[in-house]
Amino acid sequence: MTYLFQILNGLGLGMLYFLLAVGLSIIFGLLQFVNFAHGAFYLLGAYLAYEGVERGLSFWVAMPLAALVVAVLAGLTERLLLRRVYKLPHTFHILVTVGLALVVQELVIILWGPLGGNVAPPEELSGVMILGDFVYPEYRLFVIGFTAILAAGLWWLLDRTRLGAIVRAGSESPSNMALLGYDTLRINTAVFALGAGLAGLAGALAAPIRGVEPFMGVEALGIAFVVVVIGGMGSYAGALAAGILVGVAQSLMATLWPEGARLVIYLGMAGIIMAMPRGLFGRA
């Protein structure tokens, strides 16, 4: 029964990982851009939700607002800074985005202090549910359900709409999109903002579970890369499968062998890279 409990926990964690990683994956697929600042958007989303709740906003307002603000800030950053480095080698992407992540992290420390804080789950979901022999926090169940709905909505957006077709086509050939009259720079900005906004949303949703602290972005970045590498760069289904896989593995390990939780995840990633260099759902 404890395993079931941990699997449920892992599912919730995994869905947050999916939300976090899917933006990184889509951005890489579209722009071939390695974004080490992705964790900073998660960090920012968490702190903005925290700030909103501290100022008396309902969590239901603070959470989407945090994601929206992160998306807007990310869109501006893309336009003013990142767009200039796409054409440079990957090492420049890393330099610029690691720098950006550090700046965001230091700003968070300056604005909110180094210690972090807690975010109470919304009142409606502050209770627990009794599932057979054990109790489970309602908020975590909400996170699983809510992210599942988001995942379905996102799949619909990317797979079934004209906007999704534009994003997929842009990831295949920007110059052919230009020949059809599309301003690929604007598509890039929009997709970048969407991906970052999803990371911000993951941060805001995670805040009531794990609290906020200035280094949560670094941890999230590591996880996001693991998920993207396991799932396959640019793959939506891969991000979903790998997110859940990593979440559940981490949760189970917390019971079986807590010290080895990270080790198992990174070893698992190494194993998958060796067996399937493009990841579970990667395309050539």
Partner 1 sequence: MSGPAALSVEDVHGYYGKSHILQGVSLEVRAGEIVCLLGRNGAGKTSTLKAISGLLPPRGGRVRFHDTDVAGWPAHRIARAGLTLVPEDRGIFSLLSVEENLRIAVRRGSPWGMAEIYAMFPRLEERRRNGGAQLSGGEQQMLSIARALLSGPKLLMLDEPVEGLAPVIVEEIVAQIRAIRDAGVPILLVEQNLAVCTSLADRHYILELGRVAYAAGNAEFKADDAARDRFLGVKAA
Cα distance between residue 239 and residue 79, in whole Å: 26
Q: How far is the CB of 173 from partner 1 (least distance, A)?
A: 7
Cβ neighbours, 10 Å, residue 54: 12
Cα distance between residue 155 and residue 177, in whole Å: 22
- Indicate whether 57 belongs to the interface with partner 1 (CB under 8 A): no
CA–chain centroid gap for 244, Å, is: 13
One character per residue 163-202, x = contact with partner 1 (rule: CB under 8 A): --xx-xx-xxx-xxxxxxxxxx------------------
Measure CA of the first residue to CA of the last residue in the chain; give whole Å: 41
Backbone φ and ψ for 21, nearest 5 degrees, come out as: -85, -25
Q: How far is the CB of 89 from partner 1 (least distance, A)?
A: 18
One character per residue 136-165, x = contact with partner 1 (rule: CB under 8 A): --------------------------x--x
One character per residue 103-142, x = contact with partner 1 (rule: CB under 8 A): ----------------------------------------
Nearer to partner 1, 118 or 161 (CB): 161
Q: How far is the CB of 150 from partner 1 (least distance, A)?
A: 23
Q: How far is the CB of 30 from partner 1 (least distance, A)?
A: 11
Cα distance between residue 18 and residue 224, in whole Å: 8
Radius of gyration of the chain (CA): 19
Q: How far is the CB of 79 from partner 1 (least distance, A)?
A: 16
Nearer to partner 1, 124 or 172 (CB): 172
Backbone φ and ψ for 212, nearest 5 degrees, come out as: -120, 145
Nearer to partner 1, 84 or 126 (CB): 84
DSSP assignment string, 135-202: EEEHHHHHHHHHHHHHHHHHHHHHHHSHHHHHHHHHHH-HHHHHHTT--HHHHHHHHHHHHHHHHHHH
Q: How far is the CB of 170 from partner 1 (least distance, A)?
A: 9
Nearer to partner 1, 124 or 183 (CB): 183
Residues that bind partner 1 (CB under 8 A): 162, 165-166, 168-169, 171-173, 175-184
